[in-house]
Amino acid sequence: MQEVKKRDVSLDIIKAFAIFAVLFMHNVVEWKGKGGYLYDWYLEVLYGIVRFGVPVFFMIMGILLLDEKKELSTKKIWKKYIFRIIVAALFYGLIYKTLRVVLTKSFMSVGEFAMTYIKEFCTGQLEFHFWFVYAVIGVYISIPILRAIVKNASDHLMKYFLFLWLLESVLELFSHIEQFAFVGVCLNSFRFLNLFLGYTGYVVWGYYLNKHLPDKKKSLCIYVVAFFGLMVACYQTGIYEIVNGGVDYNWMMNESPFIILWSTAVFIFLKNRKWNSEVIICKGLAWVGSHTFSIYFIHMVSIIALLNTEYVVIPVSVYLQPWIWFVITVLMAILWTGIVQMIPKARKYI
């Protein structure tokens, strides 16, 4: 009971917004190319707006797991966190593999099914959204090291760590621009910078930002710069698709400086809100935020169903289709999660 009282409801609410962003993003991707030129630009902007979802998750992970007041041994990380996510991934992976087999009618023997499933699971080819599992496990493994860093590092050293992370992000983006391809060669020569690339940086940044939230004036500046930066990223991504006929999300990848800035702005905005835990909508958001684990794993079922029904179009404007399917995805995921929560042993792992 004491642990429940200490739970930060505001973080659960922020996690709820983050999981909604991820679910909406996955729906948006599936509707590209279904409504013409302006429609694709519309989806490009929507896609960019919700790119904060995954980064914010890792930022909150930093707040919760790097807290020096929290006792967290390496054994506990492996036993409680890593073991749980592996068990859940195996369970949900089995659901998705079975679903794929049934929908595509590619039936096989039990032995062949088991071997294919194990191979796809181990190589990360099971479901595209399972990439998050491997990323989270990697971050969990690094948590003891990151905790030692934040515990013993001075404020100056923390800023130095974050500067290197941001520098790597900027250089990585430039390396994908034709005129600056030489940057990629330089990065290969300085592989030590790769340590700072990606989600461990978000984890440390979330921990640091939570302790040094900017005031209203600075926050407003961050919002403005982040918005214009996001528009630049959306424009560059859209132009590449028009000119080259392909997809290039380097400007909007999770490690992009534009997405780092946008995710930071969204986090600050949500963290500065005064959430009343007694209000029904806040209670609902907090419940969703405290069950993002199950919601994330199961949400692709409705999207896969959409893909395998040749895009069931509800008779409304095409501009509303992603929103409607997003609502369907959310409701389905919440319903499943609610059922799982009724099963004591199951809710502990899935």
**What predicted TM-score, i.e. pTM, was given to this entire model?**
0.90
Q: What percent of the chain has pLDDT over 70?
A: 88
10 Å CB burial of residue 260 (0-12, 13-18, 19+) is buried
Torsional class of 310: left (φ above 0), alpha (ψ -120 to 50), beta (otherwise): left
What was the pLDDT predicted at 294?
Answer: 94
Distances (CA, A) of 292 to 18, 61, 155, 337, 343: 9, 13, 32, 9, 17
- For the chain, what is the domain count? 1
pLDDT in tens, 296-346: 999 998 888 776 665 556 777 888 888 988 999 999 999 999 999 998 888
What was the pLDDT predicted at 18?
Answer: 97
pLDDT < 50 stretches in the chain: 1-5
What was the pLDDT predicted at 124?
Answer: 81
What was the pLDDT predicted at 220?
Answer: 96
- The owner of tokens 């905005």 is 269
Alpha-carbon gap, residue 22 to 268, rounded angstroms: 18
Which of 49, 82, 64, 95 lies closest to 297 in space, CA to CA? 95
pLDDT in tens, 185-213: 565 555 555 555 679 999 999 999 999 99
Domain that holds residue 27: 2-347
